[in-house]
């Protein structure tokens, strides 16, 4: 049976340390603040924003929420971002996705100052990550790397297979793993004979959004399994992209859903806000 990587407990530990760091900043007259922009009334986004607000409150980070109408123009969105860029009391800016289809999210990410880009999506921060410079790393990949460090899972020389090539998870994760000297293979919807790749993975990271897609016959004995997927079944229960019940019996380490990668994503966002506040000193 695999060791369960408890993201919930690790996130709690990280937040407790961040709370101490936040209090130290306040003693120096710096009040860390996160601004979150949400466009429209997406129900899932509302839940995510509420969770971020709650985490800010736990740590002592100030939180400002900007809810924009669904029919706003690209320029109106950019104008708000520019206003927040220029506000000295705001250290981090986050644009909650998804946003309405008529808006270009990449242009919006480009507009966020790289110094306040706590989500790690500005091209400058992506470029810094690719050449190994200190930067804001996207929160989910960063959380996964922190899990590896906490559980002493060494990536050096290991075959890491990532399924999914999104800008939010897959692509930045490639670089994070390369920076740890792993041998990285990326699979996606056009990959042929996926099982040949997954069976060869020492570490398998899955982010595709298909419930229980990875089965025990697709992994090798004692592989490390990181499940980024969050899928809601007809019964309302959350499941990952991995068939946890059966894969757990074969893997060496595995993340649960819920309670694995999810809490770490929020913890790393909080970490990035504190980092942004420290950077102005």
Cβ neighbours of 165 (radius 10 Å): 18
3-class state of residue 145 by DSSP: helix
Q: Is 76 noted as a catalytic residue in this protein? A: no
Q: Is 17 noted as a catalytic residue in this protein? A: no
The catalytic residue among 52, 116, 180, 275 is 52
Q: Quick one: tokens of 72?
A: 């706003």
The catalytic residue among 117, 119, 241, 243 is 119
| Whole-angstrom Cα Rg for the chain | 19
What secondary structure letter does DSSP report for 216?
G
Distance CA 49, CA 38 (A): 8
Q: Is 96 noted as a catalytic residue in this protein? A: yes
CA distances in angstroms from 72 to 20, 80, 231, 243, listed in the order given = 39, 11, 30, 41
3-class state of residue 274 by DSSP: helix
The catalytic residue among 15, 96, 117, 180 is 96
Residues recognised as catalytic: 52, 96, 119
């Amino acid at each position: 049976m695999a060791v369960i990587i408890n993201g919930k407990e690790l996130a709690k530990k990280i937040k407790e340390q961040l709370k101490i760091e936040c209090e130290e900043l306040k003693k120096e007259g710096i009040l860390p603040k996160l601004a979150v922009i949400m466009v429209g009334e997406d129900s899932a986004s509302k839940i995510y924003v509420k969770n971020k607000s709650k985490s800010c409150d736990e740590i002592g980070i100030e939180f400002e929420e900007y809810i924009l109408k669904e029919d706003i123009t690209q320029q109106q969105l950019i104008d708000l971002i520019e206003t927040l860029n220029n506000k000295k009391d705001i250290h981090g800016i986050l644009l909650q996705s998804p946003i309405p289809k008529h808006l270009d999210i990449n242009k919006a990410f480009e507009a966020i100052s790289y110094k306040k880009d706590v989500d790690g999506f500005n091209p400058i921060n992506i470029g810094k990550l690719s050449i190994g410079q200190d930067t804001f790393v996207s929160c989910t990949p960063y959380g996964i790397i922190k899990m590896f460090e906490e559980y002493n899972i060494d990536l050096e020389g290991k075959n890491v297979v990532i399924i999914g090539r999104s800008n939010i998870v897959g692509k930045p994760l490639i670089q994070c793993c390369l920076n740890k000297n792993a041998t990285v293979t990326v699979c996606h919807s056009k990959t042929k004979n996926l099982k040949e790749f997954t069976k060869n993975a020492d570490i398998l990271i899955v982010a595709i959004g298909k419930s229980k897609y990875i089965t025990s016959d697709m992994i090798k004995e004692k592989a490390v399994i990181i499940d980024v997927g969050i899928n809601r079944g007809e019964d309302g229960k959350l499941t990952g992209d991995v068939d946890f019940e059966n894969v757990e019996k074969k893997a060496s380490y595995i993340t649960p859903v819920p309670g694995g990668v999810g809490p770490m994503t929020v913890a790393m966002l909080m970490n990035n806000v504190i980092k942004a506040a420290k950077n102005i000193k």
